[in-house]
Structure 1
Amino acid sequence: MHDPEPDAALASWLRLDQTPGLGPLTARRLLSAFGLPQHIFSATPPALLAHAPAQVVQALKAPPSDATQALVERTLEWASVPGNQVLTLADAAYPPALLNIPDPPLLLYVKGQAALLARHALAVVGSRNATLQGRAHAEAFSAALSAAGLTIISGLALGIDASAHQGGLRGIGSTVAVIGTGADKVYPARNHALAHRIAEEGCIISEYPLGTPPVPHNFPRRNRIISGLARGVLVIEAAAQSGSLITARMAADQGRDVFAIPGSIHSPLSKGCHLLIRQGAKLVDDAQDILDELNIVGGIAQRPCPPPSAQDASAVLDAMGHDPVHPDTLAQRCGFDMPFVQAELLALELDNRIETLPGGMVRRLAAT
């Protein structure tokens, strides 16, 4: 039996995500203005028109379609199964690393060990048509990095991705698969056994609603999540024009490190890596090169908690990200006690660095 209050809150997020004509930028504007989906749906049309086009406002004020209602009910049922959950931007468990990318997903459908999403991580990507040597590199590097405590992020594709996941599962860091379909589907089918193992021992996530088929344009878009979750991206075997290079460019734009393994000058699958190295990616030929670059010594089992001396306004702002958040959620993200968080929020508001929204949510102001 579902707890009705969490179900109602999640249903509002799901309905918002399915609103016809509502794109991610407009959704974020509305959330910034009103705080939570429930407040958006209860707002008056004139208030909504200040932040969204008329056709979107009309869709927001209309009752949900039968298809949307059926999807909401199906998703609530899916999320009630142990190991499944849907994280929203307002959830304390939403991956901290995604909070500061330009376009974090409103929702994340999670299957497996969600705690991995808050761990230090490295993305490993490359060609679907990888050579035997390339797949061996992917598994060996990923196993060594996972043994040091880094969670391996990849996209569950054939080739380098699959080998990276297999290597990640060999260490304490485990692995996270970011997929381009609904979380209830496995693509490609050849990775079904691997996906089942990742769901048991690692984590599978998607920003797409349940039932979403493998639509080609969804895969490049999910790459920003692969890079966004990670401290850096390692590219192993990539052609000059490939999705791996898109991921690497997104990583650079997000301020992440980019690493590449060089190869033969005669191999088409080396051209992408060589291009990245010429553009400033760090050449690596051993997993220790990456650990040294990331200043990882002796392994890292989990994201360290801030020391007491770091309990200041900057730490609270960093945990806040750029989206509305409730103080209770902030306290959980920071690991600070609520009186401290409330005191810091008051100081930040008096300093015009944050503002309070309806429902007690707080939001960082653009100038900060």
Structure 2
Amino acid sequence: MHTLPMTDDELAAWLRLSMARGLKPAPLRSLLDAFGLPAALLGQTFAAIAAITDEATARAVLAAPDPDFDRHLTNVLRWRHEPGNEVLTLGDPAYPPALLTMTDPPPLLYAKGCLDLLNTRSVAIVGSRNATPQGVEDARRFARALSDAGLAVVSGLALGIDAAAHRGALGGAGSTIAVIGTGADVVYPAIHHQLAHEIAAAGAIVSEWPLGTSARSAHFPQRNRLIAGLSSGVLIVEAAMRSGSLITARLANEMGRDVFAIPGSIHAPLARGCHRMIKQGAKLVETPEDVLDELGWAVRPVAPAPGEVVSPASSLTPDARRLLDALGHSPATLEILAVRTEMEEAALQGTLLQLELGGYLTALPGGRFVRANHN
């Protein structure tokens, strides 16, 4: 394969094949392996193509392009020349190597942002669009820790767990990749315009769909296969029994990727999908370190943020130790902690602040507190 910049004619040939109706990625890959670049494939006879694949594939390859093809090519060429945008083909050295381990990698990828991330080892974090506050916090915390360890966090830019995973990863030392089910020039859901802007600036956005493609439910299972394909493992944070996240997990398992799931209460509807995956062999994880250990990934030491106070455990006051013990390992409100510790309100508030600054606990929405994962 060549490493020179792709000419407009070469891109036109790739685009024609990627948009050919009825031409699936797996047989296309076989044909490209046999004939080389798309221009050479498009010059073959019907018989030569059918001999390697089948007659239906040969018809799809040699069919006349769509009437809108020239307009679409013009749009792609214009989009490709905008800063940060790139069209990656199977013949491109920058094409994500993880996707090449799939049997059906997309022939074209539209990518925005830091393309080097597509060569970084990554973990997907997926889950419910209707996540609970605890699920959102878990997704954000795990993503931040995995990002700080040097992994890219892959997700699908959906509401709920996906968005929390992207935001957590953007706050870490690594970054995040959004694999979307629309054209790379379309943001869905629209409420994520700002998040998409931040990901394009510090991470990467990837789509296999033609520019201008709007959101359609049929696209998302196909999007999920790319999320699984890009990742060394997939972590499910919250999922109902019938969930797109479980499709991602199944696809990941079929590709030989690790599948992880965070357990929850037996009474919680969004824990049921995770429990089902654990019964089927997913690895139960309680901390980000569990994921890193399974992947054999060494944890990078992370320097404290400016102004962050990191206290050794031995420096905790007796009140702080008592409060931490009273907090246990489930979120608790101020009122519950006051009852458990019998501390005065002012002392309780001051001790909570000390523990939060020291990284021993995290304040959650709704006035609740939870012990940090390393304690």
* Displacement after TM superposition at 1:298 (Å): 3.4
The 1:58/1:284 distance shift into structure 2, 3 A limit, reads closer
The 1:300/1:174 distance shift into structure 2, 3 A limit, reads farther
Q: Does the Cα contact within 8 Å between 2:158 and 2:189 map onto a contact in 1?
A: yes
* Structure 1 partner of 2:352: none
Q: Does the Cα contact within 8 Å between 1:20 and 1:56 map onto a contact in 2?
A: no
Amino acid at match of 1:10: L
* Structure 1 partner of 2:12: 11
* Structure 2 partner of 1:287: 288
Q: Which moved more, 1:170-179 or 1:31-40?
A: 31-40
* Structure 2 partner of 1:221: 222
TM-score by length of 2: 0.76
Write out aligned runs for 1:201-280 (5 A). 201-280=202-281
Amino acid at match of 1:97: A
* Structure 1 partner of 2:160: 159
* Structure 2 partner of 1:333: none
Amino acid at match of 1:91: D
* Structure 2 partner of 1:176: 177
Number of residue pairs matched by the alignment = 299
Write out aligned runs for 1:1-368 (5 A). 6-51=7-52, 54=55, 57=58, 60-61=61-62, 63-299=64-300
Q: Does the Cα contact within 8 Å between 2:25 and 2:105 map onto a contact in 1?
A: no
Give the structure with higher Rg (CA): 2
* Displacement after TM superposition at 1:32 (Å): 2.5
Q: Does the Cα contact within 8 Å between 1:232 and 1:251 map onto a contact in 2?
A: yes
Where do 5+ consecutive residues of structure 1 fail to align?
302-368
Q: Give the Cα–Cα distance (whole angstroms) in 1 for the partners of residues 66 and 215 of structure 2.
A: 24
What's the secondary structure of 2:68's corresponding residue?
A: helix
Task: Point out which structure has higher relative CO (alpha carbons under 8 A, 6+ apart).
Answer: 1
Q: Does the Cα contact within 8 Å between 1:149 and 1:300 map onto a contact in 2?
A: no
Q: Does the Cα contact within 8 Å between 2:169 and 2:175 map onto a contact in 1?
A: yes
Q: Give the Cα–Cα distance (whole angstroms) in 2 for the partners of residues 69 and 55 of structure 1.
A: 24
What's the secondary structure of 1:200's corresponding residue?
A: helix
CA RMSD of aligned residues (A): 1.9
* Structure 1 partner of 2:343: none
Q: What is the CA deviation profile of residues 138-190 of structure 1, one whole-angstrom value per residue up to 9, with x for unaligned ones?
A: 00110011011010000000000000000010112100000000000000011
Q: Give the Cα–Cα distance (whole angstroms) in 1 for the partners of residues 206 and 198 of structure 2.
A: 14
The 1:54/1:228 distance shift into structure 2, 3 A limit, reads closer
* Structure 1 partner of 2:365: none
Where do 5+ consecutive residues of structure 2 fail to align?
303-375
Q: What is the CA deviation profile of residues 44-87 of structure 1, one whole-angstrom value per residue up to 9, with x for unaligned ones?
A: 33323324555654564455343011111210110111100111
Q: Give the Cα–Cα distance (whole angstroms) in 1 for the partners of residues 6 and 157 of structure 2.
A: 34
Q: Give the Cα–Cα distance (whole angstroms) in 1 for the partners of residues 262 and 53 of structure 2.
A: 46
Amino acid at match of 2:132: T
Q: Give the Cα–Cα distance (whole angstroms) in 2 for the partners of residues 300 and 252 of structure 1.
A: 30
Q: What is the CA deviation profile of residues 117-145 of structure 1, one whole-angstrom value per residue up to 9, with x for unaligned ones?
A: 11011100000000011000000110011
Q: What is the CA deviation profile of residues 73-110 of structure 1, one whole-angstrom value per residue up to 9, with x for unaligned ones?
A: 21011011110011111110111111111211111110
What's the secondary structure of 2:205's corresponding residue?
A: strand
Q: Give the Cα–Cα distance (whole angstroms) in 2 for the partners of residues 295 and 11 of structure 1.
A: 42
The 1:5/1:195 distance shift into structure 2, 3 A limit, reads closer
Q: Does the Cα contact within 8 Å between 1:124 and 1:235 map onto a contact in 2?
A: yes
Q: Give the Cα–Cα distance (whole angstroms) in 1 for the partners of residues 201 and 297 of structure 2.
A: 27
Amino acid at match of 1:119: T
The 1:300/1:89 distance shift into structure 2, 3 A limit, reads farther
Q: Does the Cα contact within 8 Å between 2:32 and 2:38 map onto a contact in 1?
A: yes
What's the secondary structure of 2:101's corresponding residue?
A: coil
Q: Which moved more, 1:164-173 or 1:47-56?
A: 47-56
Q: Does the Cα contact within 8 Å between 2:122 and 2:153 map onto a contact in 1?
A: yes
Q: Give the Cα–Cα distance (whole angstroms) in 1 for the partners of residues 67 and 186 of structure 2.
A: 22
What's the secondary structure of 2:139's corresponding residue?
A: helix
* Displacement after TM superposition at 1:18 (Å): 1.6
Q: Give the Cα–Cα distance (whole angstroms) in 1 for the partners of residues 235 and 6 of structure 2.
A: 42
TM-score by length of 1: 0.77
Q: Does the Cα contact within 8 Å between 2:26 and 2:105 map onto a contact in 1?
A: no
